[in-house]
Structure 1
Amino acid sequence: MESDGGGWMVFQRRYNGSEEFYRDWQDYADGFGSIASEFWLGNDLLHNITASHPHKMRVDLEDFEGNSTYAEYTDFSIADAGDFYRLHIAGYSGTAGDSMLGHNGHPFTTKDADHDTSAVNCAVNYRGAWWYTACHKSNLNGAYLGGIHSSYADGIEWFTFRGHYYSLKYTEMKIQPM
């Protein structure tokens, strides 16, 4: 997918389910996968990059019917590991709807490191890793389920685009310096 203006650095990509994203804290800290395929760049590196100067963030999404949409944020950063890679995000624009709004200010949670505000571990319940609250409106590191599914909210989801019973085909998260 082409992004407006170019010059973006991709930090997450999903498109065929070839890479397992239900992983532990250290995998998300270090990063995994291949930049030629599906991957997560790594929270340590993402923090180092976004802490140096202001960045915007863009999310490109596509469903299995070929519908594409996007969300862009003018202010994006994550904290360091000591603050559990807490998310800072603001300034939404786009066509996807703002499914990140409720996640602002929340720490990152994985199956082995529960930092969400729910009584249960949202990463375990929804088979992913994310800046969960109690629990989510977006879950782009959820299970690759291939479109409509019957299980609640555990797929690759952006609620304001396709809801909690649809797992997206393609996602790409990217940053650009301001």
Structure 2
Amino acid sequence: MRALWACLCVGVLAATSATKLHNLPREAQIQDGKLAMDDHPLQEDDRLDTDQQSLQMEDEGLAQEYQFDPFLNPNRPEADKSNKHKPVNPAGRPRDCADHLISGSTTSGVYKIYPFTCTCNGPVRVWCDMETDGGGWTVFLKRQKQFRQMNFNRTWAEYKDGFGDPSREYWLGNEALYKLIASREYAIRLDLKYKTGISQYNTYSIVKVANEANRYRVSVQGPVSGTASSNCFSLNSFFTTYDNYGDINTGKCAVARGGGWWHHSSCRYGNPTSPYNQGFNYTCYYTTSMVTKVQVKIRPKVCDTAFKSVYLNSKNCGGSK
């Protein structure tokens, strides 16, 4: 009798689970035996309600999509076991925009990445620059002129977690930035567009970011290149905000200048999180100019000529425009 009851219980549970799985939204679609990633990015002029709807769908379906993910479930017949260039995230998901580029995405826009190694973490939405210098750039700071400017004078906790809308203005988040840079060796790039219409950039070949216990201290190494003065992008200090000013200057740069940044000891060099009023003042050494658009972005240092020839063929990853 006990065996009969056990069989009946197992049968009921199996039927219930099958019914639930049948009704789950299948968000991770399988196409030609491969996991279809986000190859159709949103553009800058997309509506906010579209972004919010996408976020809601992600929250509701995150747990369920693992049931159908061929990388997490290798026993599924649709799983592509022949793909030799899977993204580096242990869950088989794109860790950064370079992974999306390798997968064939070449249009700049909003993509989902998975910078955290724990599979229970959901995706992080970022702006991927797929055009500048070969593409594959993960933008962690994006500012531009818009109807309502984002307030960047925020707390330490907000800068840690990230805020804003990647299709407009946003900060990725210091914890996600730290996790990304800890996984690979990255280059970092600053792009500035001045009110005069002139654009300049500056790139360091290697950037390092410490963990929160070390106040997300940033340091840059290797050669610096670009059209802007190296003083426009002076990075070698602790992160600081108005409520947590552990910078190397006793003048409390974040309190005096607003926003959150890795300030130089003199507080006089560029702060791309300054208050925006038809643009913001950006200082390179002793010259201050009005900037209307800025992006700060990272890309794996491996995006060089050898990498391009092996993985990207005709894509200009790491080459000059």
1:119 corresponds, among 247, 250, 253, to: 250
Calculate percent identity across the aligned residue pairs: 35
- TM-score, with length taken from structure 1: 0.87
What does residue 10 of structure 1 align with?
139
Which one has the bigger strand percentage? 1
Alignment: residue pair count:
168
Quote the Cα distance in structure 1 between the aligned partners of 2:256 and 2:243: 12
| Residues 116-156 of structure 1 deviation map (CA, whole Å, 9 limit, x = unaligned) | 12222110101121111322411011111335xxxxxxx45
Task: Assess, with a 3 A threshold, how the Cα gap between structure 1 residues 101 and 15 changes in structure 2: closer, same or farther.
Answer: closer
Higher relative contact order (CA 8 A, sep 6+): 1
Where structure 1 has 5 or more consecutive residues not aligned to the other structure, the ranges are: 148-154
2:262 corresponds, among 125, 131, 153, to: 131
2:214 corresponds, among 55, 74, 83, to: 83
**By how many angstroms is 1:101 displaced?**
6.1
What does residue 176 of structure 1 align with?
299
| Amino acid paired to 2:185 | P
Q: Which of 1 and 2 has greater Rg?
A: 2
Quote the Cα distance in structure 1 between the aligned partners of 2:232 and 2:247: 15
Task: Assess, with a 3 A threshold, how the Cα gap between structure 1 residues 159 and 118 changes in structure 2: closer, same or farther.
Answer: same
Task: Assess, with a 3 A threshold, how the Cα gap between structure 1 residues 78 and 158 changes in structure 2: closer, same or farther.
Answer: farther
Quote the Cα distance in structure 1 between the aligned partners of 2:259 and 2:287: 16
**By how many angstroms is 1:88 displaced?**
1.3
Where structure 2 has 5 or more consecutive residues not aligned to the other structure, the ranges are: 1-128, 302-321
Say which SS state the counterpart of residue 116 (structure 1) adopts: coil
What pairs with 1:11-26 in structure 2 (closer than 5 Å)?
Answer: 11-16=140-145, 18-26=149-157
| Residues 14-51 of structure 1 deviation map (CA, whole Å, 9 limit, x = unaligned) | 00261111111011000000111000000000000001
Which one has the bigger helix percentage? 2
What does residue 191 of structure 2 align with?
60
| Amino acid paired to 2:287 | G
Say which SS state the counterpart of residue 175 (structure 1) adopts: strand
Q: 1:15 touches 1:38 (CA, 8 Å); kept in 2?
A: yes
What does residue 307 of structure 2 align with?
none
What pairs with 1:85-104 in structure 2 (closer than 5 Å)?
Answer: 85-90=216-221, 91-99=223-231, 102-104=234-236
What does residue 150 of structure 1 align with?
none
1:163 aligned to 2:314?
A: no
Say which SS state the counterpart of residue 26 (structure 1) adopts: helix
Say which SS state the counterpart of residue 251 (structure 2) adopts: coil
Moved more, 82-91 or 43-52: 82-91
Quote the Cα distance in structure 1 between the aligned partners of 2:234 and 2:166: 29
